[in-house]
Structure 1
Amino acid sequence: MLDALFSPAVARNAAAIVEILGRVVPPRGLVLEIASGSGEHAVHFARAMPALDWQPSDPDEVARRSIVAHTRASGLSNLRAPLAIDATRQPWPVAKVDAIVAINMIHIAAWDATTGLMAGAGATLPVGGILYLYGPFREDGAHTAPSNAAFDDGLRTRNASWGVRDIEAVADAADTHGLHLAQRVAMPANNLSLIFRKLDRLSSNVGGASR
């Protein structure tokens, strides 16, 4: 396919991610994917959950062309044309979604991409809406596996602003925008799924007081 990009990681992790998403996203509605990359994940998700509409996005034009190529090849009617969303720039060009997915994003971007993701999610998700993150994370200030430590070193060598993020820092950034870390799920290859839920302001205040 002309313009289509391919990522070996998708073949390895798509089925495991779909299993988790099937449990946490609503049965119907609109799901926004931030930093869709090649677009292969979006095709997997849209095919596995046909009652949901999937909105891919990416700030990179080459990635968006790949998403279009994979979308056309899939023939799926519930997969929308990609949006040019940069997580750091508010407001996003979408007013309301029922869930947001970001896979292998925040460690391959500067920290302001994480804070921007949380701001955008807080603004577009309804109360009870889900933000799903997938990737490697540090816990209690330490890597969960030697391979993740080596991966982190490689990322920071490529770009000093990149790196595997601390769950606690990510959760704090989310909490600022009314998003509560509701669940942590261990995934293959020392990755994690983090599921955040949008709280109403009262619930957020009560939760903060109880910690």
Structure 2
Amino acid sequence: MEKPHSPSCERNREPILGVLREHFADRRQVLEIGSGTGQHAVHFAAALPQLSWQSSDRAENLPGIRAWLDEAALPNTPPPLELDVGGSWPNGPFDAVFSANTLHIMAWPEVQRLFARLPAITTGDAVLAIYGPFNEQGRYSSDGNAAFDAWLKARGEHMAIRDAEAVDALANAAGFRLRADVAMPANNRCRVWQRVHG
């Protein structure tokens, strides 16, 4: 099959990699939630060979992810797992979790379920890194994000840019504390939390 391709993955992969190099330096088992095309999995696994990079997504996206993984043939990318946040989850334990451009696509109850399931599949010191747009105190960080949010809501009423404080509250409830909030290109952020109790 022809590999799926996301231009935004090509644009944002190096800035994200810079954050992961720092915060995943001592990690070994990563679960990527919502791997999409699979481009990130291949790029990050190649650049960070100490990691076992476990990609996952809904069933309809797995063939595209497999196409990228098969072509790259890296030793640290196991076959992608089917993962819908409302369904069954892999057992783990994972000492790192990564997700890019997913929170604004999922409905808010799905975002809540994602964070609620993390304690069961992560180690007591796990690191969580999430990339994407965030609002601050209920306000858009740029005109571009306001336009993007309007576009999202036109696609589906359940979609929206999430408020950073609301996401932090979910992370805190799951035992994760904010460790870094890194400004990224195109009005995005890469927010990193670490689990502080097992």
TM-score of the aligned structures, taking structure 2 as reference length: 0.96
Structure 2 partner of 1:150: 147
Shift of 1:94: 2.5
- Deviation for aligned residue 1:85: 0.7
2:71 alignment partner in structure 1:
73
Higher helix share: 1
Instruction: Give the counterpart of 1:172 among 169, 186, 191.
Output: 169
Match of 2:146, as an amino acid? A
Q: Does 1:162 align with 2:162?
A: no
* Residues 27 and 96, structure 2, Cα contact 8 Å, conserved in 1: no
1:88 paired with 2:82, answer no
**Equivalent residue letter for 2:86:** T
Deviations 1:124-150 (A, max 9, x none): 121221110000000011010000000
Identity of aligned residues (%): 38
How high is the TM-score relative to the length of structure 1?
A: 0.90
Residue of structure 2 in register with 1:207 after alignment: none
Q: State the one-letter code of the partner of 2:33.
A: I
Instruction: Work out whether residues 152 and 163 of structure 1, in 8 Å CA contact, stay in contact via their aligned partners in 2.
Output: yes
Contact 2:127–2:193 (Cα < 8 Å) also in 1:
yes
Q: Secondary structure at the match of 1:69?
A: helix
- The code of the aligned residue for 2:55 comes to P
In structure 2, the partner of 1:24 is 23
Separation in structure 1 between the aligned mates of residue 73 and residue 28 of structure 2, nearest angstrom: 20
Counting only pairs closer than 5 Å after superposition, residues 108-127 of structure 1 correspond to structure 2 as: 108-127=105-124
- Aligned-pair distance for 1:29? 1.2
- Structure 1 residues 54 and 74 mapped into 2: Cα distance closer, same or farther (>3 Å)? same
One-letter code of the match for 2:137?
D
Distance 1:119 1:161 in 2: 19
Counterparts of residues 3-22 of structure 1 (less than 5 Å): 3-22=2-21
Separation in 2 of the partners of 1:20 and 1:193? 8
Q: Extract unaligned runs of 5+ from structure 1.
A: 202-211
| CA offsets 1:64-111 (integer angstroms, 9 cap, x no match) | 00111100110211111000011223x512331010001000001101
* Residue type of the alignment partner of 2:37: S
* Letter of the structure 1 residue corresponding to residue 18 of structure 2: E
- Indicate conservation of the 8 Å contact 2:31/2:98, yes or no: yes
After superposition, residues 101-112 of structure 1 pair within 5 angstroms as 101-112=98-109
C-alpha separation in 2, matches of 1:35 and 1:52 = 18
